[in-house]
Amino acid sequence: MIAFLEGRLLFKTPESIIVSAQGVGYQVAVPLSSFYDLPAVEQGVRLHIYTHVREDAILLFGFLTPQEKELFLLLLGVSGIGPKVALNILSGISSQELGQALLAEDSGRIQKIPGVGKKTAERIVLELKDKIKKLNLGSFPSLKPGVQEGTPFEDAVSALVNLGYPRGLAEKVLGQIKNETEEQISLEELLRKALKSLSR
């Protein structure tokens, strides 16, 4: 079973990537949270891998951080959730925010992820609220000061979500922009910089 993969990134799309290691190309599915932090093609990459074996295929799921893989494995333990659904969840919410939602038993936040219904969100919280407490709680820091709802930041998040971007990705990109900007930034400027970053 493959648990870790280090090699050269040959190809990447949001659906899957190919990593070359010792002359073999491994196709790996990654969540968007990992995809947007990948290096450029032809650069080296290291991934924590979950190997899923089916009768007709062996599928690899990769994560840039052990934390993401741990959350993925926790999600797989929830009844009714398979690897593709778990990957979709991690693509729709950052690992930090998912950890916070589970600790707060906030099924409403999880329900906002595309493809996750109310019953599924409630089941995730019910089955993982105790398990998540066994992880390092320092792995799930609160949002930085100045990043809260009701601000241009939250309005920009909503705008990007309405444009079709996953909420987790929107929050990550906008958070980076806000942290790099010392002065107050307007909604229009936030959106302009975010769209420029997302189009790269």
CATH number at residue 115: 1.10.150.20
Q: In which band, very low, low, confident or very high, does the pLDDT at 78 lie, cut at 50, 70 and 90? A: very high
187 within a domain of the structure (yes/no): yes
Q: Are residues 94 and 55 in the same domain?
A: no
- CATH number of domain containing 186: 1.10.8
Tens of pLDDT, residue by residue over 2-22, are 899 999 999 999 889 999 999
Residues 4 and 2: their CA atoms lie apart, in Å, by 6
72 within a domain of the structure (yes/no): yes
Residue 135: C-alpha distances to residues 129, 148, 181 (Å): 11, 25, 32
For the record, the structure tokens of 105 come out as 């038993």
Number of domains comprising the chain: 3
Answer for the pair 8, 44: CB distance below 8 angstroms, yes or no: yes
Has residue 47 got a pLDDT over 50? Answer: yes
The domain of 19 spans 4-63
Q: In which band, very low, low, confident or very high, does the pLDDT at 138 lie, cut at 50, 70 and 90? A: very low
Q: Are residues 123 and 77 in the same domain?
A: yes
Cβ atoms within 10 Å of 175's Cβ, excluding its own: 16
35 within a domain of the structure (yes/no): yes
Q: What is the pLDDT of residue 200?
A: 67
Residue written as token pair 């971007």? 165
Q: Are residues 56 and 78 in the same domain?
A: no
Residues 187 and 191: their CA atoms lie apart, in Å, by 6
Of 93-97, 132-136, 154-158, the least confident: 132-136
| DSSP-derived pairing of the beta strands 58-63 and 44-53 | antiparallel
48 within a domain of the structure (yes/no): yes
Q: Are residues 49 and 77 in the same domain?
A: no
Q: To the nearest whole percent, how much of the chain has pLDDT over 70? A: 89
Provide the CA 131 distance to its chain's centre, in angstroms. 19
Q: In which band, very low, low, confident or very high, does the pLDDT at 165 lie, cut at 50, 70 and 90? A: confident
Q: What is the mean pLDDT of the chain?
A: 84
Residues 12 and 27: their CA atoms lie apart, in Å, by 10
Q: Are residues 70 and 42 in the same domain?
A: no
